[in-house]
Amino acid sequence: MFGKKANQQEAAHSTSIEDGALIDLRSVAKVYHTDAGNFTALKEVNLQIGAGEFVSIVGKSGSGKTTLINMLTGIDRPTAGEIRVAGTPVHKLGESDMATWRGRNLGVVFQFFQLLPTLTVIENVMLPMGLANLYSHRERQERAIALLDQVGMMEEADKLPNRLSGGQQQRAAIARALANDPPIIATDEPTGNLDSRTAESVMQLFGSLVDQGKTILMVTHDPALAKRAPRTITLANGELLNEFLVRALPTLTHDLLLDATRQCLATHYAPDEPIYRPQDHADHFYVITQGEVQVFAHSSAGEDVLVDSLGPGQYFGEIGLLNGSLRTVLVKAASAPVEVVALSRDMFLSLLRASGETLDEVTRSVNQRMDRLSLLGCPV
């Protein structure tokens, strides 16, 4: 087959961005001034995250992950650019307004839990409510009890944090993060100090929160953990990699993906508009970033056959590039508007030369797609 159809989570992501992003970063940069000179932690980051998304943020040490999460949560301010959350220009808020905004809109879960050691579990959960002055004392207690029950910690409500296991402390920290019913939960290596079984229970809890409509941002260095989130944001040297290129060519190194991100060109197509036709020269490799494309081939029986439908994160155009031939199929936008990013032939082939694993994967794709055409009686 030419590829698997976009799954429901991918479709939901596309819809949420079209309908308006909850979190919107525009040309965000962060430069730190040190005795050793200026250090640019983020460069021209553009990012939109929809309400109810579960997003992992990954990258090597020093790539800008923590700086990005600090920008998203208002813990730090950008040197340049704009950050809006639910329409609020967070980058313009003063310290007092920022504290109020953060208390009502964000819950933060840390790797090391950060529970106050002299307060009981229920007192830790009630604390943000008092700081934000959102509930009466009675309501705070009732709400804390309900949240601890939600995370399976009711029986530990009156214990001090040092009487809890790591997993219990993290569950208590999650309950505290939910205290003011914020729309966004930000987590930094939330399972870094947990065993695999406890980490799994925490991830399941995050999944249930997303089902309830929460937006979760999770910084992690663990690739397996990152895959649990429907969407992954990857940083390299302070720059955001094109997430659809990452999904299409996952075996490329971050440095190669960064080169590709810098050189890819985005193009939009109206419904039913051809992207290329048979006999066109093969000059670009394409990755779908929005919408659906359809692939048609002319069979030996003289009929146009629908070969496949492809969605976000899938690619096409590699057969002609590898075979050095003209296009043999028609590829066009389906019923919805389509956006693709394109890499030139030279750039695409240089990536394959630099990554044998990616060359093997693309070659397998070529063979599968040519077999598919043969089965349908279409020339290859």
pLDDT at 194 over 70: yes
For residues 329 and 310, what is the distance between their CA atoms, to the nearest angstrom? 14
Of 180, 212, 240, the last residue of a domain is: 240
Residue 380, domain member (yes or no): no
Residue 248, domain member (yes or no): no
Q: Region 225-247: what's the mean pLDDT?
A: 94
Residue 282, domain member (yes or no): yes
Are residue 142 and residue 264 in the same domain, yes or no? no
Are residue 88 and residue 188 in the same domain, yes or no? yes
pLDDT number for residue 373: 85
Instruction: Tell me the per-residue pLDDT of 298-329, one tens digit each, with 9 for 90 and over.
Output: 877 778 889 999 999 999 999 999 988 889 89
pLDDT class of 335 with cuts at 50, 70, 90:
confident
Are residue 263 and residue 187 in the same domain, yes or no? no
Are residue 159 and residue 299 in the same domain, yes or no? no
Which has more pLDDT, 379 or 235?
A: 235
Of 179, 210, 240, the last residue of a domain is: 240
Q: Can you give the residue range of the structural domain that contains 123?
A: 8-240
Are residue 72 and residue 179 in the same domain, yes or no? yes
**What's the maximum distance between 2 C-alpha atoms anywhere in the chain?**
79
Say which residues have a Cβ less than 8 Å from residue 332's Cβ, sequence separation at least 6: 269, 272, 273, 274, 275, 293, 294, 296
pLDDT number for residue 171: 86
Whether the Cβ atoms of residue 178 and residue 143 lie closer than 8 Å to each other: no
Of 197, 212, 240, the last residue of a domain is: 240
User: What is the average pLDDT value for the chain, to the nearest integer?
Assistant: 88
pLDDT class of 380 with cuts at 50, 70, 90:
low
Total domain count, the chain: 2
214 three-class SS: coil
pLDDT at 3 over 50: no
User: What is the DSSP code string of 161-207?
Assistant: GGGS-HHHHHHHHHHHHTTT--SEEEEESTTTTS-HHHHHHHHHHHH
pLDDT number for residue 138: 86
pLDDT number for residue 200: 84
Residue 247, domain member (yes or no): no
pTM above 0.75, yes or no: yes
For residues 226 and 354, what is the distance between their CA atoms, to the nearest angstrom? 25
For residues 89 and 92, what is the distance between their CA atoms, to the nearest angstrom? 6
pLDDT at 18 over 60: no
Are residue 268 and residue 332 in the same domain, yes or no? yes
pLDDT at 33 over 80: yes
pLDDT at 267 over 80: yes
Whether the Cβ atoms of residue 242 and residue 341 lie closer than 8 Å to each other: yes
H/E stretch holding 289 reads: strand 284-290
pLDDT class of 56 with cuts at 50, 70, 90:
very high
pLDDT number for residue 6: 36
Whether the Cβ atoms of residue 66 and residue 188 lie closer than 8 Å to each other: yes
